[in-house]
Every structure is written in C-alpha cells, then in structure tokens.
Amino acid sequence: MKKITFIGAGSFDFTRELVRDILTYEAFADAHLCLMDISVERLSYIEKACRKIKAAGNYPAVIEATTDRKKALEGADGVIITVLTAGPDIFRTDIEIPGKYGVDICVGDTRGPAGIFRFLRSAPVLLDICRDIEAVCPDAYVLNYTNPMALNCRYLQEMTNLKITGLCHSVQHTAAMLAGWIGADMQDIEYLCAGINHMAFYLEYKWKGEDAYPLIRQAMERKEVWEEELVRNELFRHLDYYPTESSGHNSEYYPWFRKRPDLIEKYCTHSTGWNPGEHAYILKEYFRRQDEWRQDIGKWLEEAEPDLKRGQEYAACIFNALFGDGTPFEFNGNVRNEGYLENLPQGCCVEVPVTADPNGLQVHPVGKLPDQLAVMVNTAARCEELAVKGCIERDRRAIFHSILFDPLTAAVLSMEEIQRMTDEMFEANREYLPQFPKAWHFMVS
C-alpha cells in the first residue's frame, strides 16, 4: 500500500480533484490517503468528499484525516502541499497598499510587491512543514502547489535536501486552449515550454510534427479569439512566442498593460475570466469564498455521484511514474537552474521539462531562451533571487530592491515612492514578519 499525504487538505477543490485523479490509477486504488489540515471544520468536509469519491469508485483505498502533521507524514511515499498562509484580511494589504501608490494589481500571488510579501509570510510555514518531512519521511517526493510557486520552490530547494518540485496547471491548460483555437486534438500536439513560473513560453508548438504557430496567428485574426486573451495575444504578437499564464496574471508582470487607466481599459477590462480591469478582483473572490465555501462544499456533497474521470492536474501522473506502475511522465516542473536555461541566473527557479520515472525526476536541459524573452525573464528571476536572499538573511534592504526593479512597480513609481510603499507593507505585515528589523533608510526632507 502506497501512502500519499496532503498538507493543507482543506483546500477543497484541489484536494478533491487530486484524490479523484490518484484513485484512477490501479497502483493507487488501495492507497493510504492521509488528509492533514489545521482546520478541523475544513478537514471534516474534505474527509466526507474523499469518502464519497472512494465509495463512488468502489476503491479499497484507506482515507485518514488528522490535524497531527507528523502523524500524517509517517511512512509517506508522496506529499502534496496546498497550504494557504493567513487570510483575506492580510491579502487585502498586499493589493490595497500598492494600489494607494498607483500600482494596480489583479491577482498578486506570484511576484511584484504583493507576491513577494505573500512569499515572506509563506516561507517559514513551508519550511516548518519541510523540516517535519525531513524528520519523518525524508525519501518522500514532495509536490508544491502553494503560490508564489517560483519563490517558494527556490527557497525550499535552497533550505532543504528534499526531492521537491512545484506544479502549475497553466502549461497544460494553455496548450489545450491553443489546440482548440486551431481545431487540433491534444493527442497530436507536441510542445517545448520553458521559462519561470507564470512567465514561461512555448519555444515550440507543433501539430502532427509541423510548426503550428502560423495556424495560431491565423486563429488570432478571428475577433472572438483575439478578444479572449488580449494581454497574452498582444505579448505573442510582439514577442513571437506564446506565454503560458492567463491574461489576468500576465497583465501585472510587465510594464505595458496596467500603468495607466487607458491601458487597463484597452487590454484588461473586457476579455479575461479574471476581469483584471476590475481593481483587486482577487480580493473580492477571496472574501466571496470566505463567506460561501460551506455552502459550495455542502452543495457538492449533496449532489449525485461524482464524476470519476481523471482531470488535467499532474500530481497523480507524477506519483504513478515515481512509485506507482512506473509509466514515465513528462511535465513542466519548477526546479533549480543547474544550466537547464543557460541565459538565466544559475540556481534560480526555472520551469522546464521534467520526466518522472521510477529512477526519480530527470530534468531536461533546454539551452537558451530567445534573447527578447531572456531580457524579461532575467529581470523577474533576479528580483526573485533578491527576495529569497532577503528572506533567508532577514535583509529588509534586499526585499526593497526586489520590489524596486519589478517592471510594473518601476513603470509607475519613483524610487522613493517604492521605498515608502515597501515600508508600509512591512508595517502591515509586522505580526507575520517579526524577524525583519524596523525601517531605516536615507530620507530627503
């Protein structure tokens, strides 16, 4: 019997879908699935959901729920981390303080001022989890789903010796979207994708062995396709390679889309599921979930038999390759750059092709990013390196520098304004970041 442990199992949608997928594999039909969360209430809901899936599939799996993290990790072959540190009240400051200074943020969970402070709060929690894994099940494979993905993985890969990688579904979801645009079956699509999390690009995208980019350009001439992903389509039009992450996310990573109201109106307001033109959309979604999650989960539990068809998340496929039936599986994982992308910083966290098989995780070197992509991605990766350095060394100045060079922030604010904004964000996070010194910097009266 294989054991897979979920840390942060109260992330209802993720856990429910991943459990469903894991049980579709014959090697895991009788697996021991251990659900761990610090919230007894959330844990009770997800335990009911997993038992419903087990019963619907008539699986012999063992479902266990506990608030004891070390107990949950005992004997684990694989660990999935889906924790959320703090809550909407502190997330509000990530969005609203930059907004007060004119930095308009849509999601704020990846990079820039909001993503960096989210990382600083998450890092000690994630490290505590990984210290328990090192003590209890050091040979387990660890898959991280907690954002900000690149920052969290870079930090944990620096601070631990665990076999850990991070997963983001944007790569496979975007590949399927592009296939739909050109009328292709995903079984006939091949691609090479590389970069950093939420800033990766399809260096190759082929349909039946032929370059499909000309077909994608043709598809974008259709009004409904062009308007479906305005930001991403604009990036592709000018940079020649299609990006993986949604327009809502992408709009806040670059200096071109959110620095003026007219640009927000043109690119961000009308054409994405995130509705990034609405300031701080994600905050409203967080507070909606906080108010309605019990109702949403209760409704799902009362519905008819759940759909047991395997979804598009990759955790189950990876675990099956590593310690299930051994069928190799290729995916894009977040790993330390050990020459895999030659023109990005050595050691930074990159998102590149990885093959999982019974021998472990085999990372595939990509070579160099095209120059125009390397310029942008280098800036983001180096800001992330500064943020990780600042986190490890408790260096407030390094955190400021990591925000100073954020493209959207720098497009809107002066250096002094960025310093003031960073100080204000530190103050708002004082409860969560007591390890950092109080503010000091040279001020001009």
Query: What is the CATH classification number for the domain harbouring 142?
Result: 3.40.50.720
- Has residue 134 been placed in a domain? yes
Pairing of strands 62-66, 32-36: parallel
Is 90 exceeded by the pLDDT of residue 75? yes
Active site residue 169: yes
Average pLDDT rounded to a whole number, residues 89-105: 92
Q: Please state the length of the chain.
A: 445
Out of 32, 169, 401, 441, pick the active-site residue: 169
Is 70 exceeded by the pLDDT of residue 428? yes
- Has residue 273 been placed in a domain? no
Residue 230's CB is within 10 A of a number of other CB atoms, namely: 21
Annotated binding site for Mn(2+): 168, 198
CA–CA separation, 153 and 393 (whole Å)? 17
CB 101 within 8 A of CB 413: yes
Q: What tokens appear for 36 in the block?
A: 């761990």
Annotated binding site: 147, 168, 198
CB 23 within 8 A of CB 96: no
DSSP string, 342-374: TTS-TTSEEEEEEEEETTEEEEPP-B---HHHH
- Has residue 351 been placed in a domain? no
Number of domains forming the structure of the chain: 1
CA–CA separation, 141 and 51 (whole Å)? 24
Kindly report, residue by residue over 167-198, the tens digit of the pLDDT: 988 999 999 999 999 999 999 999 999 999 99
- Structural domain boundaries enclosing 63: 3-96+106-166
Residue in 387, 445, 422 with CA at minimum distance from that of residue 148: 387
Which residues fall within 8 angstroms of residue 438, CB to CB, at 6 or more apart? none
- Has residue 146 been placed in a domain? yes
Phi, psi of 243 (to 5 degrees): -85, 155
CA–CA separation, 2 and 4 (whole Å)? 7
Quick one: residue 367, left, alpha or beta (phi over 0 = left, psi -120 to 50 = alpha)? left
Kindly report, residue by residue over 252-303, the tens digit of the pLDDT: 999 999 999 999 989 987 654 444 444 556 666 666 667 677 888 888 888 8
Query: pTM of this prediction?
Result: 0.94
Residue 3's CB is within 10 A of a number of other CB atoms, namely: 21
Mean pLDDT is lowest, of 225-229, 296-300, 333-337, 413-417, for 296-300
- Has residue 30 been placed in a domain? yes
What pLDDT was estimated at residue 277? 43
CA–CA separation, 352 and 345 (whole Å)? 14
- Has residue 61 been placed in a domain? yes
Kind and range of the H or E run holding 293: helix 281-302
Residue 264 is classified by DSSP as I
Query: In the beta sheet, which residues pair with residue 153?
Result: none
Kind and range of the H or E run holding 97: helix 88-101
- Has residue 86 been placed in a domain? yes
- Has residue 88 been placed in a domain? yes
